[in-house]
Copies of this chain bind each other. A is one copy, B any other.
Amino acid sequence: MAESNKNLYPDKWLNKASAGERVACELRMRIISGRIESGSILSENQLAAEFSVSRSPIREALKVLASENLLRLERMGAVVLELTEKEIQEIYDVRLLIETFVFERLVKMDTTEVAKELSKTLEMMKIAIKYQDADDFSFQDVAFHETIVRSIDHSHILMIWNNLKPTLESLILLSMRMRFEETYDDFDRIIRNHELYIEAISKKDRDLMVQSLHQNFDDVQGRVEDLWTSQQTFTKGVEHDD
């Protein structure tokens, strides 16, 4: 029971974060993982007591999570929203929108620098696999896609990404932790897909890009479905993780 109070969000990603950010990251993970059930009503005082901080950082965190559509702020309390399959699909829609837009810009640019950066990140992902570090792997995976988004220097597309990123990060994190517990074969395929992605960007091959983009989504999607259907199995896995 005490174990289930352990933080889901990696502490080492919170080095210089304020209390509000810490609470937001942890709450986000708990909501997406299902540890906090959808439909629950959270109050500021209750959360402040639980996290041993004042209401100020809690308010900040709730505002952030509401903007990510994980909560709905009401008169009395914040209602936890469900991350349905439809929601996951919607996230995929947005990723497709963003990354396709980015690709169309990229084909008009010199992509050698981006490809280099992506290759570097991919190397790091391989190391993370070698040392079985799901968190590091997730971090690099997110960084991979952020590199792509940032490459075209478009502040509003970047804004959309910044809104999507926290949810995506949490999803990937939970998904990858599960995989490191179970099947290892998946990672070869993930790495190959990323290599395809880099190749598509280097060669400016639109079809290859769409193909790898879809496959990359399937990599996350498949496991996410299990994620909320077998909540207990997952939580156990986390507790053993320590």
A interface residues, Cβ below 8 angstroms from B:
60, 63, 67-69, 87, 89-94, 96-97, 100-101, 103-105, 154-157, 159-160, 163-164, 206, 210, 213-214, 227, 229-230, 233-234, 236-238, 240-241
- Our pick among B89, B104, B238 for the contact of A241 (Cβ within 8 Å) is B89
Which residues of B are found within 8 Å of A241, using beta-carbon distances?
89, 92-93
Q: Tell me the complex Cα distance, A157–B103, Å.
A: 20
Can you add 14 more A-B contacts, CB < 8 Å, to A90-B157, A156-B164, A214-B237?
A: A67-B163, A69-B159, A89-B241, A93-B156, A96-B234, A97-B101, A100-B230, A100-B237, A103-B233, A104-B227, A104-B229, A159-B163, A163-B163, A206-B233
- Whole-angstrom distance between the Cβ of A188 and the nearest chain B Cβ: 24
Q: Tell me the complex Cα distance, A68–B105, Å.
A: 23
Q: Tell me the complex Cα distance, A227–B60, Å.
A: 34
- Whole-angstrom distance between the Cβ of A215 and the nearest chain B Cβ: 12
- Whole-angstrom distance between the Cβ of A18 and the nearest chain B Cβ: 11
Number of copies of chain A assembled together:
2
- Whole-angstrom distance between the Cβ of A60 and the nearest chain B Cβ: 7
- Whole-angstrom distance between the Cβ of A69 and the nearest chain B Cβ: 6
Q: Tell me the complex Cα distance, A63–B60, Å.
A: 9
Q: Tell whether, in the assembled complex, residue A237 and residue B69 are in contact, meaning their CB atoms are under 8 Å apart.
A: no
Q: Tell whether, in the assembled complex, residue A104 and residue B230 are in contact, meaning their CB atoms are under 8 Å apart.
A: yes
Q: Tell whether, in the assembled complex, residue A160 and residue B163 are in contact, meaning their CB atoms are under 8 Å apart.
A: yes
Q: Tell me the complex Cα distance, A240–B95, Å.
A: 14
- Our pick among B69, B101, B214, B234 for the contact of A230 (Cβ within 8 Å) is B101
Given A93-B101, A101-B93, A163-B163: A69 and B155 interface contact (C-beta under 8 Å): yes
Given A96-B237, A163-B163: A154 and B101 interface contact (C-beta under 8 Å): no
Given A69-B156, A104-B227: A97 and B163 interface contact (C-beta under 8 Å): no
Q: Tell whether, in the assembled complex, residue A91 and residue B156 are in contact, meaning their CB atoms are under 8 Å apart.
A: yes
Which residues of B are found within 8 Å of A90, using beta-carbon distances?
154-157
Which residue among A90, A101, A156, A233 has the maximum number of chain B CB atoms within 10 Å of its CB? A156
Q: Tell whether, in the assembled complex, residue B210 and residue A160 are in contact, meaning their CB atoms are under 8 Å apart.
A: no
- Whole-angstrom distance between the Cβ of A31 and the nearest chain B Cβ: 15
Which residues of B are found within 8 Å of A237, using beta-carbon distances?
93, 96, 100, 210, 213-214
